[in-house]
Chain A
Amino acid sequence: MALQQEHELETIDLHINVGPQHPATHGVFRMILTVDGEKVVDCDPVIGYMHRGAEKLSENCDYRQAIGYQDRTEYLAQFNAEWTYCLAVEKLLGLQVPERAEYIRVILGELNRVASHLMFMGAFGTDVGFFGTPFMYAFREREVIQDFFEAVTGERMMYNYFRPGGVAWDVPDDFEEHCRYVIDHVRRGVEELDALMTDNEVFLARCRGLSPVTPEEAINWGFSGPMLRACGIKHDLRRAEPYSIYDRFDFEIPTGTQGDVYDRYLVRMEEMRQSLRIVEQALRQMPKQGPVMAEGLKRTIRVPPGEVYSRTESPRGEYGVYLVSKGGDKPWRLKIRSAAFCNLSALKNLVVGNYVADAIIILGSIDIVLCEVDR
């Protein structure tokens, strides 16, 4: 006993401040880590550096103008964000979206998911220690998708293309051809990326078994999207609460078993393939002609009083918009339920007990978009 006491050194916990300006935090995000040696014993995430008050701003502009803030909130899955918002307005208005517009939305939304996951692959690879290669692979394919989006919407990032009632304008004539080219190209790229990363020994060593999450915990912590599916819960809003025309497509919902970092990665990798499958089916089924905007919509949209919580499966999980209308041309309240916000809120649970170096990987595996977190 006495001997043991003699050898026990007095240690103190160190505080390490990661961010807000740090390449590993994927934006302006700060976490204050308390470490005991190499182990993290406490983690205090600090967010809000990108808070621009998108909810408040949306309350002060009319229903069409508010679409732009959705792009700027979720800047990696803009179509999915716009879609959620448009769904909310359409639900309150009781609008029926034309067939062709629904297919356009599905195609763009799914390709947007692929683009977002590619961004994740690149950034995550860098987190794990691959440095440039996966990043360049992923971005090469992402660029093809970006070009396609630019051809359709005229914008590279802030598309502002989905509107309540449909889409802003019809797609270009070579839409189908261009889309098939994108699918072929991206599919090859995804396989290359898969071959590069999935079975890599270093990658496995660093990711497998890292910060596993049980299904009960994941549900209680409010996880959604790939974070939730990695725990083995087969929950996808496209299936569980189908919106738009998702009940017409045949696709798998990939799930993991451990809920660890590696499973989160695998789920996303498989989701890209499934998304491409959906796009192919949608291209086949899409009507060649027809309107892309609901008829009888006035220039200024006036929404009857009511409230709705609309949600879609965005690449990061459940993206929700809680819209309260009191009549008139402006939303009374527009709350954005950000998937990354909810996933990130459990960062402390995920990180504590792991090594400092792994904390960066765990943070990367959540796939945060800080503009979406802070809104």
Chain B
Amino acid sequence: MAEGAMPQEMGQAPVVERLRAILPQVQWEFVPTPNDPAIVVRREDLPHLMQTLKEHPDLAFDYLRCLSGVDHIDQLEVVYHLRSFRHGHTLAVKVPVPLEDPHVPTMSHLWQAANWHERETHEMFGIVFDGHPDLRPLLLEEGLGYHPLRKSHPLAEIEEWQEEFLEREEALVAAAAPPGARAEEDERAKKIALAQKKAEVMKRAREEARAKGLSGEEERRYVQEAVRRFEAELGQEVAPKEAPAPKAAPADRAAKIALAQKKAEVIKRAREEARAKGLSGEEERRYIQEALRRLEQEGG
């Protein structure tokens, strides 16, 4: 193919020159990269620029090959890598996006390929693509509450946090458990219950934060605050409540067993009676329930 014969370096300059001739009013900054010429443009110019890049016959960038988000800490950036099948030239368009207002107009109406890329960039960086038909999370679960590819979401710290979390959890369980043989058996169940409760607290806090319209960072802090409060409460509440439990347990247990046996007997008798009367299945069920209710009333 003819286009393949042209070395990359030779093919770069004409694109930018051509673009300058076609769109003299748009300002940009040229960035050389080893493969593609790249331009940094302002967000306001983006819709018009992209439309022209795609539709002008001398540019004809009909192929969106890649769309990436980049977190530069002080600002975000969206990078579009374009290619033209007609002319064989390439271009990278870079758009800086301020952190406090992470909005970019969508390009999915020009290139359908942008659809999933934008969904992914939205969930990973928290960049909102205005006008996108369907910005649901793509790779992550819904309602995650943070944007993992942001630099403010470090990898190492999570692991540390997890370790801390487990240690704290174990300490709490150890404090709450009654002394004695049953402590070990119950430890696991308690841990699970505690983790579930905690997850609930986190979920609620996240929803509250969402409702308040907090940013990702603020939301994270809000959730952490809620968890801390929860743990403080737990530390006070659990210890005195569980302490007298072990002594009462054996008697309690025997009574429970006796009650259950009595109930089983009542059910059995009621069923036999119902069968003898020739009741239907539904009626039989009701008859048994009635018998149980009577038993409870007697017991109460």
Contact = CB atoms under 8 A, between A and B. Distances in A.
Contacts of B90: 241
A230 to B, nearest CB: 15
Contacts of B115: 345
B4 A56 contact: no
10 contacts: A51-B140, A219-B62, A234-B1, A306-B33, A309-B66, A320-B65, A324-B70, A337-B68, A345-B113, A349-B112
Nearest to A247: B4
Interface string A227-246: 00000011100011110000
Interface residues of A, number: 46
A60 B156 contact: yes
B70 A333 contact: yes
Contacts of B287: none
Interface string A308-328: 111100000010101010000
Contact of B64 (A55, A222, A247, A306): A222
Interface stretch (B17-25, B34-42, B244-252): B34-42
Contacts of A235: 85
Interface of B: 1, 3-4, 8, 31, 33-36, 38, 62-66, 68-71, 79, 81, 85, 88, 90, 92, 111-113, 115-117, 137-141, 148-149, 155-156
Contacts of A222: 63-65, 111-113
A307 interface: yes
A47 interface: yes
A53 B147 CA distance: 12
A239 B66 contact: no
A335 B115 CA distance: 17
A69 interface: no
B66 A322 contact: yes
B94 to A, nearest CB: 9
A306 B140 CA distance: 29
A133 B95 CA distance: 52
A221 interface: yes
Given A91-B34, A220-B62, A241 B4 contact: yes
A322 B68 contact: yes
B264 to A, nearest CB: 40
B34 A92 contact: yes
A336 to B, nearest CB: 9
Contacts of A241: 4, 8, 90
Contact of A320 (B31, B66, B85, B141): B66
A48 B140 contact: yes
Contacts of A324: 70
A341 interface: yes
B87 to A, nearest CB: 12
A337 B116 CA distance: 12
A239 B1 contact: yes
A342 interface: yes
By secondary structure, the A interface counts as mixed
Given A222-B113, A342-B116, A337 B65 contact: yes
B228 to A, nearest CB: 26
A309 B35 contact: yes
A322 B38 CA distance: 13
Interface string A348-375: 0100000000000000000000000011
B138 A48 contact: yes
B3 A309 contact: no
B112 A221 contact: yes
A154 to B, nearest CB: 29
A59 B137 CA distance: 22
Contacts of A306: 33-34
B4 A310 contact: no
A307 B140 contact: no
Contacts of B139: 47-48, 51, 374-375
B71 A335 contact: no
B111 A337 contact: no
B69, B113, B138: which has the most chain A beta carbons within 10 Å?
B113
A311 B65 CA distance: 10
Contacts of B71: 333
A309 B63 contact: no
Contacts of A307: 31, 33, 38
Q: Which of A47, A320, A342, A375 has the most CB of B within 10 A?
A: A342
Interface in A45-77: 47-48, 51, 53, 55-57, 59-60
Contacts of B137: 48
Interface in A224-270: 224, 233-235, 239-242, 247
B121 to A, nearest CB: 9
B35 A56 contact: no
Contact of A239 (B4, B62, B116, B117): B4
A269 B31 CA distance: 41
B62 to A, nearest CB: 5
Contacts of A59: 155
A260 to B, nearest CB: 19
A335 B112 contact: no
A252 B35 CA distance: 25
A57 B148 CA distance: 11
Contact of B63 (A55, A219, A242, A374): A219
Contacts of A310: 35
B267 to A, nearest CB: 40
A354 B165 CA distance: 51
A342 B113 contact: yes
A47 B138 contact: yes
Contacts of A320: 65-66, 81
A318 B85 contact: no
A309 B129 CA distance: 22
